[in-house]
Amino acid sequence: MKLTPATSCVRGRPSSRIVITSAIAVVVASVLLNGCSLFSTREPDSPITESGTFIQPDKPEQVVSNIQSAIAELNTLNYRRSLDQALDFRPTASADARSPVFGNWTRAQEEQYFSTLAAAAASGSGHSLLLNDQSFTIISDARFVLDATYVLTINHNRTDADTNLQGRLQWVIDKNSDGLWALTAWTDQELGNVSSWSDLKAVFIQ
């Protein structure tokens, strides 16, 4: 019987290379077809922002709570969200007489003052707005009025303004067309000779 030459084993090697090469080609093609997203540009993640404490103001009392939280947290966004576009602020008589800044005080000035205040108090703590002797008056289904005395504590780093303010406030809170409430009118009144909220605003609007 004639033996098969040993060289036949050598001739079998090229075919195995072809099989391996073909398998690699299949894997590469599969990656290119099905995994092309690995090489594509990924959409950036949305930035993470701190929303703070804010309750959707479905009731007028929630506007008050939101402002108190915004002050405690120095949250400029939530402070702004609590104010009506047509905010009307009336300072104390003495603050108005001392400073001309209240001649055209709008929501823009209110936002500017609070942003400057928040920056100056960012390294402090214990900020708060305490409301005492609160009285809510229902004017209509879309208007409430809050009367209260206040103690405002803002531990800022300025030397030209007090950190504790006291006075009496009247807030008119109205319901907007979207059903949400906002602060629309604000009257500040002084109590004795202590610095008021109006005095604080006059300093930090500069």
Distance (Å, whole) CA 169 – CA 74: 20
pLDDT band at 29 (very low <50, low <70, confident <90, very high): very low
Contact predicate 80/204, CB 8 Å = no
Distance (Å, whole) CA 128 – CA 152: 6
167-182 residue pLDDT tens: 999 999 999 999 999 9
Tokens of 179: 């059903």
Residue 206's pLDDT is: 83
The whole-model pTM stands at 0.76
Per-residue pLDDT at 26 exceeds 60: no
Instruction: Report, as an integer, the average pLDDT of 169-198.
Output: 97
* Higher-confidence position of 170 and 14: 170
Residue 19's pLDDT is: 42
Per-residue pLDDT at 28 exceeds 70: no
Residue 14's pLDDT is: 47
